[in-house]
A and B are shown apart, each in its own frame.
Chain A
């Protein structure tokens, strides 16, 4: 099968790679770039485990082809850490609230939460539910995830961000 060359910015780094047109964005991130933090859950756009930011907007990377990301900017869970690789503010809040168990859905939850908090550092419960309403978690029952997002929002407000 013929391949195409694409250039994608991922977590601030530019990658130029050749890919088959049929390769999904999530497979590209995981298999070509070894960014295995983004997880595959359902491959039909329901569970949200594969969520990434595309030009700042959360999308399902299982429903998008890598070639469609040509020339665009992707943020994955790895891009939410601080520069030295330690957890960022949102990631720390998820830890502090123990907003996870198996951890498999968490990259998608973090991406959805990041998109919310970039727009709104004082979200209501309804705002939070809307932001993560498309992400399924089977471990937590969501309560500690909501608390983590509230904690992160509070810390962002305290930091004046």
Chain B
């Protein structure tokens, strides 16, 4: 779609959410003040695995201002375990440990008091008697283990173990000139928002409705909450007019919400739990994928990659959350942007005695991209070929779309060669090589990184079925509502919270585009879950695709009604009329017209001027179905999971201090194609922000456990995140290959930077280390590992 035909879409326009944030008027869950609110502090297990022998809360309860101490046994007696999508009835997840603590830091009791200060004091007075047991911490040991079981009733530590086989893998391996095997490891990290998770609940006796305010970004949150608490779904109301202080996938505090929901009903007072940072890091169940890949790649001497055999073993921690499914989303782009003919994929998810895993930006795609790009780098190194040339040889050509990969996905559109070339041009690649070589000639360690990758967006839920065939869920739709009031003013209604993606700007821009109205005059509200259109929440790079398209369709319905009302009153057929900025006029006689205000008045008040039988008012709702969705997998487990595929090419330049191993990312170019951008500033921000997350995951961020299961990364002094000093002035070069599947050609852009940056930084660091003959196959590549490798030849020296 040519942007020259667009009034508001793709134009640089102020992001409407920003005003409240710069003036300090954002409303985050911690800012919601209900009279009489009680506060929760948690008692945490000091042991990674221990039987709970007894709990004595008498001293805590005797403190002035303490209202209750809740134990796991009580909550298990009144609530169901939190569902997580797999049929494993003996893996029971409750907000508090029941009978046994399964990781260091797990919540054992909840103390409720008049203030957080009193609650924390009282929590220290709860006396828990434990019998320590031997934990299992290493995921490979956990997979083999028959004695040290995290959930003994499950019979093993395995949550999921599946085999997928797409295409002629054995034949392709036999026919290929060469094969090689390698192992790469993605370390346990996460996106760690600056706002911790918080939840506030109030039980209304009069209406018998449980109200929840939460810093949530999670599909099916209300369904899970109501079923766990055994409250009807239509008695559970999530208030979505709170700003979420960052999420990037991880704000999934379902156990927090269950806890305060239960307490609010029991105590008949509003109850609030705001994690402090220590609780967030140790026990928020908010860690990300922790994955070992063993991969075999078959390729020809000319650099053509023919086939992959992948085994992925992922450490979910003690409670699965959505962890196993983060092994399933990558199936949608399991060959990356390449013409790889066949794939075997073995996916294993195990439990260990660590805090639980949640979805992180890209839902498992970033580790998988790192593995795929590692394969490309290793093929190039093995053949002595240029890394860019190997990629060019394997990238799906621009004239091959829609392109179906062996696992079933049809990639919608793309021009990967052009985007890669744009990135290389912007990086001034030939001179960058000279710069690197000059640095090396001066004795410095310097490297250029190359990575290309895909960002699947807007997916349906069918990956759940691939792992659990009892879950016949074949859609993941999104609704939008548009209301025009009697004054002619427009309100868009969305059904989710927002955590920085600018949904209000998205919806206002698209309504404005469709109805030719100034988006700044359009209100957008976040309805509560009992009032809202259907939503599956802003995950999976899906809102531009799904909410954008549903909004456009709702606006078109309103416009159609406007045209019908005008036609009736102007005495003409709709086909004889033109619409311009709300006014409808006769094409042959522009003086014969009806204005927006008049049309809106007629729709609401002057029923005698409405076409016969037309529904009064001027509003519309539309629920957008996932393009290409609605199907179960075929007999070869091939299925379309995501409709839209964005693409990026990353080119960072790094230098390494050989004395300290410190990596400086000095320059970074990303070529990026997410189709039509609705708001370029929002896209650029998410691309660069995601990329910064990727630099963190590649170089700094790790939730480190000791071999005995104690957690070592509970503070920001131990879990290091990039500051402004670690992120260069990234250059984002955009390209637009519209998607044929969405309202304006838009695709997803919320995850892309994060999906490619770790692979790109790994490529750059390994390029810098190559003259020394070293290669690191593990993220994060922390400076002490690099220093040891440079100076002692061994990262663990």
Cβ-defined contact, B23 with A139, below 8 A: no
Partner of A138, one of B23, B31, B192, B724: B192
State whether the Cβ of A63 lies closer than 8 Å to any Cβ in chain B.
Answer: no
Q: Which chain A residue shows the least CB distance to B281? A: A42
> Given the known A-B contacts A39-B28, A39-B245, are A102 and B19 also in contact in the complex, defined by CB atoms under 8 Å?
no
Cβ-defined contact, A77 with B245, below 8 A: no
Cβ-defined contact, B14 with A96, below 8 A: yes
Partner of A85, one of B23, B244, B247, B691: B23
> Given the known A-B contacts A38-B24, A81-B23, A102-B246, are A141 and B194 also in contact in the complex, defined by CB atoms under 8 Å?
no
With an 8 Å Cβ cutoff, the count of chain B residues facing the other chain is: 58
Partner of A104, one of B23, B245, B691: B245
Q: Would you call the interface of chain B mostly helix, strand, loop, or mixed? A: loop
Partner of B689, one of A38, A49, A97, A139: A139
List the A side residues contacting B682 at CB < 8 Å.
98, 101
Cβ-defined contact, A132 with B724, below 8 A: yes
Q: Which of B101-109, B253-261, B341-349, B499-507 contacts A (4 or more CB under 8 A)?
A: B499-507
State whether the Cβ of A123 lies closer than 8 Å to any Cβ in chain B.
Answer: no
Cβ-defined contact, B689 with A140, below 8 A: yes
Q: Which chain A residue shows the least CB distance to B720? A: A46
B66 to chain A, nearest CB (A): 14
* Total number of residue pairs linking A and B with CB closer than 8 Å: 180
List the B side residues contacting A138 at CB < 8 Å.
191-194, 246, 248, 689, 692-693, 721
Cβ-defined contact, B716 with A133, below 8 A: no
List the B side residues contacting A128 at CB < 8 Å.
724
Partner of B724, one of A46, A86, A98, A142: A142
B186-209 CB mask vs A (1 if < 8 Å, else 0) is 000001111110000000000000
State whether the Cβ of A35 lies closer than 8 Å to any Cβ in chain B.
Answer: yes
Cβ-defined contact, B22 with A36, below 8 A: no
Cβ-defined contact, B245 with A102, below 8 A: yes
Interface positions, chain A 120-161, Cβ under 8 Å from B, are: 125, 128-129, 132-146
Partner of B681, one of A98, A103, A145: A98
B9-22 CB mask vs A (1 if < 8 Å, else 0) is 00000110111111
State whether the Cβ of A76 lies closer than 8 Å to any Cβ in chain B.
Answer: yes
Cβ-defined contact, A40 with B30, below 8 A: yes
Interface positions, chain B 11-62, Cβ under 8 Å from A, are: 14-15, 17-26, 28, 30-31, 33
> Given the known A-B contacts A136-B723, A141-B727, A143-B730, are A101 and B24 also in contact in the complex, defined by CB atoms under 8 Å?
no
With an 8 Å Cβ cutoff, the count of chain A residues facing the other chain is: 59
Interface positions, chain A 33-64, Cβ under 8 Å from B, are: 34-44, 46-47, 49
Q: Which chain B residue shows the least CB distance to A128? A: B724
Partner of A106, one of B22, B684, B715, B717: B22
List the A side residues contacting B88 at CB < 8 Å.
none
B553 to chain A, nearest CB (A): 27
Interface residues of A (CB under 8 A from B): 20, 22-23, 30, 34-44, 46-47, 49, 76-78, 81, 85-87, 91-92, 94-98, 100-107, 110, 125, 128-129, 132-146
Interface residues of B (CB under 8 A from A): 14-15, 17-26, 28, 30-31, 33, 117, 191-196, 243-248, 276-277, 499-502, 681-682, 684-686, 688-693, 715-717, 721-725, 727, 729-730, 753
11 A-B residue pairings within 8 Å (CB atoms): A30-B31, A37-B23, A98-B684, A100-B500, A104-B28, A104-B194, A105-B194, A136-B721, A138-B721, A141-B730, A142-B724
Known: A46-B715, A98-B14, A129-B724. 20 other contacts (CB 8 A): A37-B23, A37-B25, A41-B194, A44-B717, A46-B717, A49-B194, A76-B24, A81-B24, A85-B23, A98-B685, A100-B22, A101-B246, A101-B502, A103-B26, A103-B500, A104-B28, A106-B22, A132-B724, A140-B689, A140-B692
